[in-house]
Chains A and B, each alone.
Chain A
Amino acid sequence: NAGVTQTPKFQVLKTGQSMTLQCAQDMNHEYMSWYRQDPGMGLRLIHYSVGAGITDQGEVPNGYNVSRSTTEDFPLRLLSAAPSQTSVYFCASSYGGIATNEKLFFGSGTQLSVL
């Protein structure tokens, strides 16, 4: 059981470049989300999805796009990378349905540096 898989694990970009962080889960989870973790800031929600075809913004969505064409995949796109986007990015998923104290399953993170 792979759980939540993120690729790549590390990435270096130049300012202005675009790229896509991949996230896939094999647990048939309806809910998926992207967080960024900056030193001293904790994790902050970028975008989330409650099912295929449905996405919404989180706390820090500017500079990022998402789409959810399948239940399994939830890619995060950086449109024009900026140094302020240097961070560790986590994808997370959980079961949907009636809201309970559902556990979030996290990927192992992507360390992104923008020069």
Chain B
Amino acid sequence: AQTVTQSQPEMSVQEAETVTLSCTYDTSESDYYLFWYKQPPSRQMILVIRQEAYKQQNATENRFSVNFQKAAKSFSLKISDSQLGDAAMYFCAYRSRYSGYALNFGKGTSLLVTP
């Protein structure tokens, strides 16, 4: 099974600043999808951004962008102009194109946003 590693259990950022959350994964496949999910204290899982492995262009969603390095098997999330509402657990996830939609999640990074 593919493994997803988030090496930063906790991160902190000041409001309006930029923060980058790291994610690496292990796979022998060439075609797959990568995701970042946000889980605020409400426990709801919210999709932040997604990336197809065959696309070289990094995905962007408003203040959220990724740095996808396929050869290095790295998929970091950059949050620009951080807001208090960005405080949450962030999970990186991998899905094989061929495995029936199962997601493999990392252990998560807790993001604290300070005023």
Contact = CB atoms under 8 A, between A and B. Distances in A.
Given A56-B100, A102-B101, A43 B91 contact: yes
Contacts of A33: 101-102
A58 B102 contact: yes
A95 to B, nearest CB: 9
Interface residues of B, number: 24
B103 interface: yes
B107 A40 contact: yes
Contacts, number: 58
Interface stretch (A12-20, A68-76, A103-111): A103-111
Contacts of A104: 45, 47, 101, 103
Interface in A23-43: 31, 33, 35, 40-43
Interface residues of A, number: 28
Nearest to A56: B100
Contacts of A88: 43
Interface in A74-97: 88, 90, 92, 94, 96
Contacts of B47: 103-104
A31 B33 CA distance: 16
11 contacts: A33-B102, A35-B105, A43-B103, A44-B105, A56-B100, A90-B45, A94-B101, A99-B98, A101-B35, A106-B45, A108-B44
Interface of A: 31, 33, 35, 40-45, 48, 50, 56, 58-59, 88, 90, 92, 94, 96, 99-104, 106, 108-109
